[in-house]
């Protein structure tokens, strides 16, 4: 089969590799669409340490079941499916509690780190356990289904935050996940939603997708403006989707006393935290990792149009052209969001 292989950092080769063999509880999927995630883009240059070459990346995907293992009884060849990017190889304390995203035996498709190597879906075929499969609603395209993973990440973060009807919220970082967070907050029943980013075009999109206000992150008076929009107190909730010191501090300083902050972004492995502000203002901070069971609801919301994904897709490209699009994403080409690869 053809696959896009990261042979060394910043160097892809589209080459022939063996079709994956499937275990008894696995299915072989013919990949129809696979999105390029921001973590893949950062992984290609080695900055994350979680894409050690050689590796076939790709975890936001959908396709058709090509073959089923001997122990698979509830799935059939020809079914249209998507799948969770998180593969739990054994049951443990966390997965038994429903938080399989925290399992000690968790592996992520398309990731290669010192602990494991799990080839992903930038290929004609990928093998996954039947336990992570989800059927596609009728009428949902493969490209739309490939957006389920980032949508689920946004909803997982928003669902972690205890909230009340009409709570105010700020979203720091309005890339693709941030734009899905805006939509998730609106669906959850938040009142005033304030989008924050450096890029005006992203702020314009945030307003289109449901934000009430948009503020530039480099505005020297941004905290005063947030308070002016939230009864002088600060927002009830914040979701931070970047992961660097200035944006995390902005999220913390932008909520009211007793406010709640969900941290989704992790561009930096370490940050400087305003500890005194967190303690004396009694801020609750939630780390949000991937997703844990949100796929079915997200698939239904995408299919019904309640969550809009089409506007996020910048291009659908063949596998042979994917390396060039990785480069464009890595350079941060203006206006470029989700690129879907079609093997």
What are the tens digits of pLDDT across the range 156-175?
A: 999 999 999 999 999 999 99
pLDDT at 89: 81
Backbone phi, psi, residue 149, to 5°: -60, -55
Tell whether the model's pLDDT for residue 47 goes beyond 90: no
Q: What is the pTM of this model?
A: 0.95
What are the tens digits of pLDDT across the range 264-305?
A: 998 888 999 999 999 999 999 999 999 999 999 999 999 999
Tell whether the model's pLDDT for residue 125 goes beyond 90: yes
Q: How is residue 131 written in tokens?
A: 């336990």
Average pLDDT over residues 307-312: 96
CB atoms inside a 10 Å sphere around CB 279: 9
What are the tens digits of pLDDT across the range 220-266?
A: 999 999 999 999 999 999 999 999 999 999 999 999 999 999 999 98
Q: How is residue 146 written in tokens?
A: 């490939």
Average pLDDT over residues 130-148: 97
pLDDT at 315: 97
Residue 49 confidence class, pLDDT cut points 50, 70, 90: confident
Average pLDDT over residues 65-82: 97
Mean pLDDT for the chain overall: 96
Tell whether the model's pLDDT for residue 51 goes beyond 90: yes
Q: Are strands 235-240 and 255-263 parallel, antiparallel or unpaired?
A: parallel
- Region of residue 196 (left: phi > 0; alpha: psi -120 to 50; beta: else): beta
- Topology given in CATH for the domain delimited by 2-147+309-342: Quinone Oxidoreductase; Chain A, domain 1 (3.90.180)
Tell whether the model's pLDDT for residue 90 goes beyond 90: no
Average pLDDT over residues 193-208: 97
Domain boundary assignment for the chain: 2-147+309-342, 152-287
Residue 308 confidence class, pLDDT cut points 50, 70, 90: very high
Collect all residues with Cβ–Cβ distance below 8 Å to 120 and sequence separation of at least 6.
34, 55, 56, 57, 58, 59, 61, 109, 110, 111, 126
Residue 335 confidence class, pLDDT cut points 50, 70, 90: confident
CATH of 152-287, one of 3.50.50.60, 2.60.60.20, 3.40.50.720, 3.90.950.20: 3.40.50.720
Average pLDDT over residues 210-223: 98
């Amino acid at each position: 089969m053809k696959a896009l292989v990261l042979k060394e950092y910043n160097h892809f080769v589209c080459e022939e590799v063996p079709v994956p063999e499937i275990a008894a509880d696995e299915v072989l999927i013919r990949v129809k669409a696979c999105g390029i995630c921001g973590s893949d883009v950062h992984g290609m240059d080695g900055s994350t340490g979680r894409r050690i070459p050689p590796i076939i990346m790709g975890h936001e995907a959908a396709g058709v079941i090509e073959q089923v293992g001997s122990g698979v009884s509830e799935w059939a060849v020809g079914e249209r499916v998507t799948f969770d990017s998180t593969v739990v190889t054994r049951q443990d304390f966390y997965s038994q509690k429903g938080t399989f995203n925290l399992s000690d035996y968790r592996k992520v498709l398309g990731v290669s780190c010192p602990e494991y190597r799990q080839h992903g879906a930038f290929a004609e075929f990928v093998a996954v356990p039947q336990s992570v499969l989800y059927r596609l609603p009728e009428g949902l395209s493969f490209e739309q289904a490939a957006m389920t993973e980032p949508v689920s990440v946004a909803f997982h973060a928003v669902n972690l935050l205890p909230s009340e009807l009409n709570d105010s919220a700020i979203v720091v970082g309005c890339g693709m996940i941030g734009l899905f967070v805006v939509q998730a907050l609106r669906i959850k029943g938040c009142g005033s939603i304030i989008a924050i980013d450096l890029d005006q075009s992203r702020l314009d999109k945030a307003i289109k997708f449901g934000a009430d206000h948009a503020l530039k992150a480099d505005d020297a008076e941004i905290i005063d403006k947030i308070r002016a929009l939230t009864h002088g107190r600060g927002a009830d909730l914040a979701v931070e989707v970047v992961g660097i010191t200035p944006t995390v501090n902005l999220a913390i300083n932008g909520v009211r006393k007793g406010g709640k902050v969900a941290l989704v972004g992790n561009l930096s492995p370490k940050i400087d935290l305003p500890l005194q502000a967190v303690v004396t203002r009694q801020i609750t901070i939630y780390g949000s990792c991937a997703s844990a069971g949100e796929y079915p609801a997200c698939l239904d919301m995408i299919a019904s149009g309640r969550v809009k994904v089409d506007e996020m897709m910048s291009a659908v490209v063949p596998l042979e052209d994917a390396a060039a699009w990785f480069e464009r994403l890595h350079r941060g080409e203006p206006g470029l969001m989700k690129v879907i690869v079609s093997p």
